[in-house]
A and B are shown apart, each in its own frame.
Chain A
């Protein structure tokens, strides 16, 4: 039901998945905060085969002016996939899919940022997917919330996000590319880890009620773990000195330039 037909089994005979994971296991995740010097806040997420960069600017003035809200800040997100992020070259520029993702991420983030503290401003979030391997909206949202915290934007909580789905009639946690392409359902979800409230819940494909509950259960557990990684990323950011980022190549020492007879010496000669 749904999805393309895979030419090989997505769940192996021993009950494990194509990449050897168990049904409830997520892919390895690492997050680094403060990776970009020019942005107010930034984060880089490597999650399985995903490589996602997020940069935050703001709060800053809203342009064009008609978008500004005199009572609160707006959160504007742009999700973009690099043309080289997928196997077949992706046509660059916003398309239907990336506009949708930009919108849902903006809305999820707007719900956690204390927007009423910064009337008439915008918080701009740029998400660049450098390498895609399924679940990029979740990776993007995870990265964006770390970048927001890194920018010092007041917010209720960090936003972990994860997608589970159905593959060969089995509900599995954190789909990878193959499972996403050939599986039959995909449920991305983002929560407020402190309260367990939902910030994002989508479903692509068909699931029974029990399957959906199972997928959400997996997501919930994964999000808690993702949240720990996010916190750790922000802590280590300030434990390792920020100086490393600031370092620029030293100017070449002047003494190393040999004093060769230059062209103007010959001119002097001519003068004499």
Chain B
């Protein structure tokens, strides 16, 4: 009994030398980084020469507002010469904020960039959709928006026979598609014919607030490329606020936490550095936890062997 206690106490604070040696960790990290580089290279090749950049880089992003003044619906934001941009409304000569957001003025237009809000489909947006229903000739795609859209077999790269939609995609599949058009009552038509547009195989998706997408991408794609590099994940960000990620379980875990951080602190300045630090911290913590787990396992095994030995001597 006392022997047992002694051993168990010893084992609960295991000696340090049973940590995986640093060389092994280094090799492991180098191998993973190499794999991530390879993945990024392949992805780049995929986009090369297709006349378009990656979907998240395609549209002009709103410039970072200088003032960062938060305005509230009904607040007067300009009067006189300015013209009313998105997120505002005009009455007489005065322009008022229509939603909670950040006031920006550019090219004679005053607009409010909303801080939150649902995604409303817009022509030319590349979005990550999800198949939610199937008909004999089309799939119904959820766009993370109040509006859904049919994707007809003709709008895919495949020759889809009538009644054979399920051969290509089933409910729950994820697709990268482009909004082809939206009419006045917000009926949306989408297409999967286009460079890079495809069914997304594997990976995971997460939904963020669509108004935070520009922040997640960052100016000139700075934030998203940082995320991809540090988390070693492949990522696609749809304009609809749905993100598709692929990588190892741990990498995806880190990436998702980082994306949630960006989403909740989108209005903060200097977020890119904060996110880099956050990812590093999280990685350290994960590595430490993993090492500890290994240690615990080692300790259990050693204990079992020791006990076996003691029992044997006792028997003798």
Q: Which residues of A contact B (CB under 8 A)?
A: 40-41, 58-61, 70-71, 114, 117-121, 149-158, 192-194, 230-231, 234-235, 238, 241-243, 245-246, 253-255, 257-262, 265, 268-269, 272
Contact = CB atoms under 8 A, between A and B. Distances in A.
B148 A61 contact: yes
B185 A61 contact: no
Contact of B186 (A120, A157, A242, A262): A120
Nearest to B14: A259
Interface stretch (B23-31, B42-50, B113-121): B113-121
Given A114-B89, A238-B70, A269-B308, 11 more contacts: A114-B98, A152-B114, A152-B118, A157-B96, A194-B96, A230-B72, A235-B70, A242-B265, A243-B261, A254-B292, A261-B4
B229 to A, nearest CB: 24
B136 interface: no
B120 A150 contact: no
B98 A231 contact: no
A154 B85 CA distance: 13
A150 B100 contact: yes
B74 interface: yes
Interface in B109-130: 114-118, 120
Contacts of A265: 300, 303-304, 307
B117 A268 contact: no
Given A234-B72, A242-B265, A246-B264, A153 B117 contact: yes
13 contacts: A60-B118, A119-B184, A152-B118, A154-B87, A158-B72, A158-B74, A194-B76, A194-B96, A234-B100, A235-B70, A235-B72, A242-B265, A265-B304
Contact of B293 (A230, A242, A254): A254
B249 to A, nearest CB: 15
Interface of B: 4, 8, 11-12, 70, 72-76, 87, 89, 96, 98-101, 114-118, 120, 146-148, 184-186, 211, 260-261, 264-265, 267-268, 289, 292-293, 296, 299-300, 303-304, 307-308, 311-312
A79 to B, nearest CB: 22
A259 B9 CA distance: 8
Contact of B307 (A153, A154, A230, A261): A261
A118 B146 CA distance: 9
Query: Which of A119, A230, A254, A259 counts the most chain B CB atoms within 10 A?
Result: A259
Contact of A119 (B114, B185, B296, B299): B185
Contact of A40 (B116, B265, B299): B116
A150 B308 contact: no
Given A150-B116, A153-B99, A158-B74, A242 B264 contact: yes
Query: Which of B116, B289, B312 counts the most chain A CB atoms within 10 A?
Result: B116
Nearest to B4: A261
Given A154-B98, A156-B73, A118 B120 contact: yes
A39 to B, nearest CB: 11
B98 A259 contact: no
5 pairs of A and B residues whose beta carbons are closest in the complex: A152-B117, A157-B74, A152-B116, A154-B98, A242-B264
B183 to A, nearest CB: 10
A156 B74 contact: yes
A40 B118 contact: yes
A238 B296 contact: no
A156 B300 CA distance: 66
Contact of B98 (A41, A120, A156): A156
Contacts of A245: 264
Contacts of A156: 73-74, 89, 96, 98
B55 to A, nearest CB: 23
Contacts of A194: 74, 76, 96
Contacts of A261: 4, 8, 303, 307
Contacts of B311: 269, 272
Query: Which of B98, B120, B267, B293 counts the most chain A CB atoms within 10 A?
Result: B98
Query: Which of A192, A257, A261, A269 counts the most chain B CB atoms within 10 A?
Result: A261
A268 B147 contact: no
Contacts of B211: 152
Nearest to A258: B12
Contacts of B74: 155-158, 192-194
Contact of B118 (A58, A120, A155, A193): A58
A254 B115 contact: no
A45 to B, nearest CB: 16
Nearest to B102: A238
Nearest to A241: B265
A120 B307 contact: no
